[in-house]
Amino acid sequence: MTEYPGLIVERDGACVRVTLDRAEQLNPLDAATIGALLALVRELEAAGEVRVVVLSGKGRAFSAGGDLKGYVALYRDEDGFRRFLEDFHALCAAIEASAKLYLCAVNGLTVAGGLELMLACDLVIATRSARIGDGHLNFAQLPGAGGSQRLPRAVGSVRARHLLFTGDLLAAEEAERIGLVGRVVDDDVFEAEIHATVAGLLEKSGAALAGAKHLLNRALEMDLAAGLAMERDFVHRHATREPDASEGLLAFAERRPPRYGTGEA
């Protein structure tokens, strides 16, 4: 697998772990890092045997957001800044569109661009010591990688407005309570929890997981009637054409582990 500056990429079978590796700077998401992440995600998309990707940060932060000092120069380069925004949007869109599952392992401070990257992921597990928020307005900035759109979809308009306008950082338990985080665990069992979650995901049908991700993502794009019709047709195709659907039932009836294929829905 290609090496990417600023990232640690480790593969274990069907899981790849990507760690932001600039701990002293709290893992900033500058143009170079976003470009590396986008290239890596595209490389992983071509690796059909990879089914789960874990994103994490080294040190005491997942990511504290953008490179604020670097932005001063970047803002003077209008074309360069537009490319940065387009790359960040493309990165989040690629994660959402992928049939693979992306698990965000929030090991600490997660702010601004870090929050926006987290919001694009499918699952979020945080340490109890993590602190999570938007923070853009604390420095007269605006969320430019989808935060103003994904945040209200995740936690509702009222809470999104509070987080954006105040710049408050939430304790992990509060982030879990409002639906920003899926699970909070003690710091000393965090890695074990990530490992167990990945292992559980890899036991499931890749086609079924990809199908469930597709259904959930499409649910936010249409009204209820259209969504129900889409679900009916998608599930009919899955049940009648995807071998894993029958294999899961047969394995249960025969009291044996399922033998799922490697295909994606």
CATH code for the domain in which residue 134 is found: 3.90.226.10
73, 153: one domain: yes
pLDDT score recorded for residue 175: 97
Q: For residue 115, give the H/E element and its range.
A: helix 113-120
Q: Does residue 259 sit within a domain?
A: no
Nearest to 58 by CA among 122, 7, 95, 16: 7
84, 12: one domain: yes
226, 106: one domain: no
150, 172: one domain: yes
126, 35: one domain: yes
Domain final residue pick, 202, 219, 241 = 202
Alpha helix segments (H runs only) across 128-265 = 147-155, 157-166, 172-177, 190-203, 206-219, 224-241, 243-254
In whole angstroms, give the CA distance from residue 34 to residue 117. Answer: 10
pLDDT score recorded for residue 265: 45
pLDDT score recorded for residue 261: 87
Phi-psi region of 128 (alpha: psi -120 to 50; beta: other; left: phi over 0): alpha
134, 59: one domain: yes
pLDDT score recorded for residue 66: 84
Q: How many residues does the chain have?
A: 265
Q: What is the pLDDT along the chain (265 residues), one digit of tens a residue?
A: 678 889 999 999 999 999 999 999 999 999 999 999 999 999 999 988 999 999 999 999 999 998 888 888 889 899 999 999 999 999 999 999 999 999 999 999 999 999 999 999 999 999 999 999 999 999 998 999 999 999 999 999 999 999 999 999 999 999 999 999 999 999 999 999 999 999 999 999 999 999 999 999 998 888 899 999 999 999 999 999 999 999 998 999 999 999 998 755 4
191, 209: one domain: no
Domain final residue pick, 186, 202, 218 = 202
67, 96: one domain: yes
- What range defines the domain where residue 188 resides? 7-202
The count of domains in the chain is: 2
Q: Does residue 103 sit within a domain?
A: yes
168, 53: one domain: yes
pLDDT score recorded for residue 263: 54
Q: Does residue 119 sit within a domain?
A: yes
225, 95: one domain: no
